[in-house]
Amino acid sequence: MRSQRLFILFALLSTGARAQWLHYPTPGIPRTRDGKPNLSAPAPRASNGKPDLSGIWQVEPTPFDEMTRLFGPGLETLSVPGDDLRTFSKYAISILADFKPEEAPIRFGAAKIAQGRFENFGIENPTTQCLPGGVPFGGLLPFPNKFIQTPGVIVILQEADGAERQIFTDGRKHTAEPQPSWMGYSVGKWEGDALIVDTVGFNDKGWLDAFGHPRSEALRVQERYRRRDFGHLDVQVTLDDPKMYTRPFSIKYTLDLVPNTDIGEYVCAENEKDRPHLGKQ
């Protein structure tokens, strides 16, 4: 039964178009002598001297041995063309993947919410309703994300659900009473070569991951982005939601540059026929 649910879960998460404009050369990308992208070259700099985070990025998958340890044997049998579990990050499945169940910093009420959602994820998962995956869930799915950096704002376009984020780096502060939203309100500042992003103003409808770990309107997300070299962007995300979790906790992962391509259009509701057939499994 658990394997059947996981199969449907993965299928729901990874259905959709992949990046388009394949094989179009990325302008200005450093290359090795054989013409291949040199992803270990130094990180590029913007006009203000800060690292330029612009590019097409995709979350680095968790090694399959670790996925098997976390979620059980036989996962390879759940992979089908277009839905390969080897492309997933463990955090897209469970934001608490690094914790033993008895040590997870989750409140009893939040655990009950997550349990109920997992039992009915085919119906309740926002992504099956053509709603945003949110933060950090949407950025952890195995789809490319496009970062566009300007002096005053960084825009992240997520192919996974067509959502977008604005991270304002123009010195503004958070408003006192933001209207609750799916993606929250993000402001960023540079600390050396690291971009520090502070996001508040979430609604309580989004999920933190595919298992349905909940969030409240009190959630605060702090992210640290550091472009290690041309092809790797290291990310640390700290989640603080005192209504749902007993203490703040963090995850760390890497985004890999996807050169010579671009994101594609994602229209969830067009000709959608899955939802009427989703129910308890």
What is residue 3's predicted lDDT score, i.e. its pLDDT?
52
DSSP class of 26: P
Question: Whose structure tokens read 């609604």?
Answer: 203
Residue 234, domain member (yes or no)? yes
What is residue 165's predicted lDDT score, i.e. its pLDDT?
96
What is residue 281's predicted lDDT score, i.e. its pLDDT?
46
The number of beta carbons lying within 10 Å of the beta carbon of residue 109 is 11
- Listed residue (230, 213, 269, 250) closest to 51, CA to CA: 230
What is residue 167's predicted lDDT score, i.e. its pLDDT?
98
Residue 35, domain member (yes or no)? no
Which whole-number Å values give the CA distances from 99 to 43, 70, 94, 216, in the listed order? 33, 10, 10, 21
Burial of 13 (0-12, 13-18, 19+ CB in 10 A): buried
Number of domains composing the chain: 1
Residue 74, domain member (yes or no)? yes
Residue 166 belongs to domain with CATH number: 2.40.128.20
Lookup: tokens for 135? 């933060």
- How far apart CA 122 and CA 102 sit, in angstroms, is 26
Lookup: tokens for 261? 């391509």
Residue 32, domain member (yes or no)? no
- pTM to 2 decimal places: 0.89
List, in order, residues 6 or more apart from 214 with CB less than 8 Å away: 110, 113, 114, 117, 204, 207, 208, 244
Q: Which residues pair with 214 in a beta bridge?
A: 207
Q: Which residues pair with 51 in a beta bridge?
A: 45
Cis amide leading into 214 (omega within 30)? no
What is residue 126's predicted lDDT score, i.e. its pLDDT?
85
Cis amide leading into 132 (omega within 30)? no
The pLDDT averaged over each successive group of 10 residues in the chain (281 residues) is 52 52 82 92 95 96 91 69 76 95 96 89 76 92 94 94 93 93 97 98 95 96 98 98 98 96 82 60 46
Tell me which residue range forms the domain holding 85: 2-23+42-266
Which whole-number Å values give the CA distances from 210 to 19, 42, 50, 56, 77, in the listed order? 22, 35, 34, 23, 19
Residue 37, domain member (yes or no)? no
Lookup: tokens for 158? 């997520």
For the chain, state the CA radius of gyration: 19
Chain centre to alpha carbon of residue 171: 25
Are 218 and 241 contacting, i.e. CB atoms less than 8 angstroms apart? Answer: yes
